[in-house]
Amino acid sequence: MSSPAAEAARRRTFAVIAHPDAGKSTLTEALALHAHVIAEAGAVHGKSGRKATVSDWMEMEQDRGISVASSALQFEYAPAGHVGEPYVINLVDTPGHADFSEDTYRVLTAVDAAVMLVDGAKGLEPQTLKLFRVCKTNGIPIITVINKWDRPGKAPLELMDEIVAEIGLQPTPLYWPVGEAGDFRGLLHRGEGGAARGFIRFERTAGGSTIAGETHLDPAAAAAEQGAAWETAAEESELLSADSADHDQEMYLAGDTSPVIFASAMLNWGVHQILDTLCELAPAPGPRAADPAALAAATSAMDDSRAPGDDFSGVVFKVQAGMDAHHRDKLAFLRVVSGAFDRGMQVTHAQSGRSFSTKYALTVFGRTRATVDTAYPGDIVGLVNAGALAPGDTLYAGRRVQYPPMPQFAPEHFRTLRAKSLGSYKQFRKAIEQLDAEGVVQILRNDARGEAAPVMAAVGPMQFEVMQARMAGEYNVETVTEPIPYSVARRTDEASAPGLARQRGVEIFHRSDGAIIALFGDKWKLSFIEKEHPEFTLETLVAD
């Protein structure tokens, strides 16, 4: 059996991030198609009888053609000419809608690289920018894919300038488009100094549902076949080199540059090139530092970090229930950080100190499940019936280790939630407890409102719809919501809470993790109180 360190070296764990409708779920399926995980790709919106996207399993996702929950897919892939064992790809699809930024943030704590998908017509959009900053803060290197090049869009050099201007990231294209947006002829494979290594021409397939054929031509043959389109691409490639837009591995890993590939996920053009680039350039799983606060509070020996070859450890980055209509189980998604995970092993839950059994462990993509017996650093494991686990929790074997907790985004929308029928109150409370633990929304409580009408706090209002839909579908509890007059939240403390509660337009709540949260009517009210009462503790709730 291979060592954990050797297994980690051939793993690539990444997430796809993008603005809604950039083609994220379509790309996820295209990657799976090229790795022969699925035989035929669907479409995000399931048009004209085509299959629904396999990663979108919720009814709400399929109805709206959007992803509202993350899902994970593992497959093996060997680039052409690769010698030795194939790479193991752990692909984590994420919600694109801004209302689910918190779920995406959790996923980004569990990956080693990201693919930033950009719509060739729209360029960088607000959600893309927000998620890029999260990657930058967490040291996650990014590969940029300019998608939908088969449709009319911006000029390629304009998109490169936009990336530099908007996010300060130097794009270093590896594959440059031959033909303008909407007239996608193929890709120029860039070499040293911008010189063309060759040309890749793609063949259309019926609806883009199967792998597109590829024809590789040398530069002379490409020039003869493509004429002016090739000349333009070759000239632009040389211009890029003059602007220092050539790949440098150290600068990429440092987050200063981003390799760029032009593609059409819907046509399956450029998909092999994306996979090959991930295998060649994206980092393998590496060491992870322990939580400084846990180290400071430790009363016995504790590891300050774990590397892939050390004893087993892992981090829970997401908890999800209701994925199997036949089983009322709760699934905890665990990223293996170090060592080998063996199904059935007894591990320790760092936050409670209790023993945890891993008898039921799965790999999960949408609602597709398969038992996993062994997993290595970088792999994503679904632990069944994990009611005691929450996002950010650490499981370990050997000497104690505890990784940093999962930060939460600052909520901007607030509504009360109550059951339509008093007869379903018991089930209502159970549903609230379980969905709160998953992080579907943040649940805020105080004595004045009571347990029957807690306040939901969310990054975006669509989270409220997911909460109600899941309560109805999974717990048979119909609910109603009502707005409350608050739009700003801050964390406070026991000393400041009584004084804040006496202020007009302020209400104090307790969150499930013990945090005391003050809600304000608007930012001007908050600003006034901060000015008049500098003695109050008021901290932002934005993820670091």
Shared-domain flag, residues 301 and 276: no
**Dihedrals phi, psi of 288, to nearest 5 degrees:** -135, 135
A 10 A CB-CB count for 422 gives 9
Last residue of a domain, one of 396, 431, 462: 396
User: Does residue 486 form part of some domain?
Assistant: yes
Residue 103, annotated ligand binder? no
Considering 65-74, 451-460, 501-510, the range whose residues carry the highest mean pLDDT is: 501-510
**Start-to-end CA span in the chain (Å):** 39
| 49, pLDDT greater than 90 | no
Shared-domain flag, residues 437 and 476: yes
Per DSSP, the three-state class of 36 is: coil
Shared-domain flag, residues 327 and 381: yes
Residue 391, annotated ligand binder? no
Residue 96, annotated ligand binder? yes
CA angle 252, 255, 259 (to 5 degrees): 40
Lowest mean pLDDT among 294-298, 349-353, 431-435, 479-483: 431-435
Shared-domain flag, residues 293 and 276: no
| 167, pLDDT greater than 50 | yes
A 10 A CB-CB count for 51 gives 13
Shared-domain flag, residues 317 and 451: no
Shared-domain flag, residues 369 and 426: no
Per DSSP, the three-state class of 191 is: coil
Higher pLDDT pick, 440 / 183: 183
User: Does residue 537 form part of some domain?
Assistant: no
What are the Cα distances from residue 349, in Å, to 219, 308, 389, 488, 501?
Answer: 58, 19, 8, 34, 37
Shared-domain flag, residues 75 and 191: yes
Q: Give mean pLDDT, residues 199-219.
A: 93
| 57, pLDDT greater than 80 | no
Per DSSP, the three-state class of 42 is: coil
Domain total of the chain: 3
Q: How far apart are CA 222 and CA 226, in angstroms?
A: 6
Residue 61: per-residue pLDDT: 44
Taking alpha carbons only, the member of 377, 382, 339, 378 closest to residue 358 is 382
User: Does residue 540 form part of some domain?
Assistant: no
Higher pLDDT pick, 130 / 538: 538
Shared-domain flag, residues 16 and 156: yes
Shared-domain flag, residues 49 and 179: yes
Last residue of a domain, one of 232, 248, 281: 281
Lowest mean pLDDT among 12-26, 208-222, 340-354: 12-26
Residue 46: per-residue pLDDT: 42
| 159, pLDDT greater than 90 | yes
**List of residues 6+ apart from 34 with CB closer than 8 A:** 77, 211, 268, 271, 272, 275
How confident is the prediction for the chain on average, in pLDDT?
88
CATH number at residue 91: 3.40.50.300
| 365, pLDDT greater than 70 | no
Domain extent at residue 226 = 4-281
**List of residues 6+ apart from 440 with CB closer than 8 A:** 463, 466, 467, 470
Per DSSP, the three-state class of 401 is: coil
**List of residues 6+ apart from 365 with CB closer than 8 A:** 54, 55, 71, 72, 73, 74
Q: Give mean pLDDT, residues 25-39.
A: 84
Q: Give mean pLDDT, residues 404-413.
A: 81
**List of residues 6+ apart from 528 with CB closer than 8 A:** none
Shared-domain flag, residues 159 and 81: yes
| 327, pLDDT greater than 60 | no
Residue 98: per-residue pLDDT: 52
Residue 97, annotated ligand binder? yes
Residue 258: per-residue pLDDT: 97
| 53, pLDDT greater than 50 | no
Residue 93, annotated ligand binder? yes
Shared-domain flag, residues 62 and 208: yes
